[in-house]
Amino acid sequence: MAWDFETDPAFQSELDWIDKFVREECEPLDYVVGNPYDVANDKRNALIKPLQARVRDRKLWACHLGPDLGGPGYGQVKLALINEILGRSISAPIVFGCQAPDSGNGEILARYGTQEQKDRFLKPLLENEIVSCFSMTEPQGGSDPKVFKTRAELIGKEWVINGEKWFSSNAKFASFLIVMAVSEPEATPYRRMSMFVVPADTPGINIIRNVGMREGSEGTHAYIRYEDVRIPEDHILGGRGQAFEVAQTRLGGGRIHHCMRTMGQIRMAFDMMCERVLSRETQGERLADKQMVQEKIADSWVEMEQFRLLLLRTAWLIDKHNDYQKVRKDIAAIKIAMPKVLHDVASRALLLHGALGVSTEMPFARQVIDSYYLGMGDGPTEVHKLTLAKQILRGYQPSDDLFPTRHMPKEREHAFQKYGEFASLTDDEI
């Protein structure tokens, strides 16, 4: 009977090492390194590369990968426990070689790429010598890929790409972009698009602007116009019309990995809230002594722990089935839960910190905005709710008459048929 909520001591000592390393080495980096995705930045490399070497020495590099690709093959449960620590810092996932979107892009290159694509793009990506970009969303809509217009035409031995993409994160740092484009306009909606690996120095990739997430912040989400971008015929990733299948492989892992890292942000907001309410006094007592504050602590803890357990169970299911499709329902559920828990816990932490909480000196306002992004990126919450409900309902049957199967008069009648002789007896007669 295996139903275990404990981490084994050997792995716990790895987690303790990671926790200390992230606290002492990675979290301070976030203030000085600039953008950790900027692999051309000398200061970034001087600071990050030695830390990456220490992670490699410890055999914790690229924990999302199996041994065939140079990772330890820990599986998703261990990865969840690691990622909830790494999620506290922007730089930590890069230091540990498991950052988005490179982890997802690496996964599809490993699964669908040709040997040449693997040698040229995957190998340096896994070593973090380069970073990559996933270029799918278009200005007229991201939630519904059926509205995408970017076109890829095979002319002679070259694919020629034309169209616009936006929110292509990290395009300005990337050595290659994975672009989704309509290559089979006559096919059914989910067979119209293909995926392409486009080297970033290909002429015709014109970044119109880089959109930022907060006023004054560096823009890293590129609005790109692809104008007669020519790539060799063999730069297609997967088969013609196979983009949706390839994207699903990428998104299955990507979604739960976001949830894992977000768990780190939720825990951080929760810990800060607890410290604050124990430290702040108002009207003669600590915030922690006020019942309406206690309610906020209790609600936050329950929501956070529910989320964490659902997350770990989903990770466990992925390890068990080794097939994202079989765990689609559970991944949808955890993706739905993530933005709401982050939003609610971060909002309470923000509120209980008063003016300081709203300021840029604390992370809460960013976390609240991030919760909206996390609720729309990789498929909006509304769509995941549809997926989840449909999958759940597959396990049910409609009632065979006007009344519900468990209508009480029906159940009572059944009970009397089964236990009728007892039903008519008094206690004394029994």
Ligand X SMILES: Cc1cc2nc3c(=O)[nH]c(=O)nc-3n(C[C@H](O)[C@H](O)[C@H](O)COP(=O)(O)OP(=O)(O)OC[C@H]3O[C@@H](n4cnc5c(N)ncnc54)[C@H](O)[C@@H]3O)c2cc1C
Which residues in this chain contact ligand X in the complex, by CB under 6 A? 101, 134-137, 141-143, 167-169, 213, 221, 373, 376-377, 380, 382-383
Least distance from ligand X to the Cβ atom of residue 387, Å: 10
Task: Rank residues 257 and 276 by Cβ distance to ligand X and give the closer one.
Answer: 257
Q: What share of the chain is helix, strand, coil (3-state, %, to 5)?
A: 55, 15, 30
Residue 340 three-state SS: helix
In the complex with ligand X, which residue's Cβ is closer, 128 or 300? 128
- Tell how many helices (H) and how many strands (E) occur in the chain: 15, 10
Quick one: tokens of 36? 């950790």
Please report, as a single letter, which amino acid is at residue 285: E
Q: Closer CB to ligand X, residue 221 or residue 255? A: 221
Whether the bond between 101 and the residue before it is cis, its omega within 30 degrees of 0, is yes
CB 256 to ligand X: min, Å: 16
Residue pointed to by tokens 């070593």: 127
Is the distance from CB of 60 to CB of 82 less than 8 angstroms?
yes
Question: CA distances (Å), 358 to each of 302, 348, 352, in order?
Answer: 24, 11, 10
Q: How far is the CB of 30 from ligand X (least distance, A)?
A: 17
- CB of 309: closest distance to ligand X in angstroms? 27
Minimum CB–partner distance for residue 148 and ligand X (Å): 10
Q: Which tokens in the block code for residue 167?
A: 């929110």
Specify the residue, 200 or 383, whose C-beta has the smaller distance to ligand X.
Answer: 383
In terms of CB distance, is 301 or 373 closer to ligand X?
373
Please give the residue whose beta carbon sits closest to ligand X in the complex: 142
To the nearest whole angstrom, how small is the minimum distance from the Cβ of residue 279 to ligand X? 33
What amino acid is encoded at 79 in this protein?
L
Closer residue to ligand X (CB): 39 or 136: 136
Q: Between 213 and 356, whose beta carbon lies closer to ligand X?
A: 213
| CB nearer to ligand X: pick between 304 and 379 | 379
- Among 178, 193, 197, smallest CA distance to 244 is for 193
Task: CB nearer to ligand X: give 258 or 296.
Answer: 258
Q: Would you call 335 helix, strand, or coil by DSSP?
A: helix
Q: Over the range 402-415, which residues count as b (16 or more CB within 10 Å of their CB) and which as e?
A: eeeeeeeeeeeeee
Taking the C-alpha atoms of 133, 137, 138 and 144 in order, what is their torsion angle to the nearest 10 degrees?
160
CB of 140 to ligand X, least distance (A): 8
Rounded least distance, CB 26 to ligand X, Å: 21
> C-beta of 143: minimal distance to ligand X in Å?
3
CB-based contacts of 268: which residues, under 8 Å, 6+ apart?
Answer: 88, 363
Angle 291-321/243-279 helices, nearest 10 degrees? 150
What is the Cα–Cα distance from 208 to 226, expressed in whole angstroms? 10
Q: Which is nearer to ligand X, 167 or 223 (CB)?
A: 167
Q: How far is the CB of 386 from ligand X (least distance, A)?
A: 7
CB-nearer residue toward ligand X: 73 or 380:
380
**Smallest gap, in angstroms, from Cβ of residue 141 to ligand X?**
5
The DSSP 8-state label assigned to residue 288 in this structure reads G
Question: What DSSP line would sit under 208-269, residue for residue?
Answer: EEEE-SSTTSPP-EEEEEEEEEEEEGGGEESSTT-HHHHHHHHHHHHHHHHHHHHHHHHHHH
What is the crossing angle of helices 243-279 and 102-112, to 10°?
Answer: 150
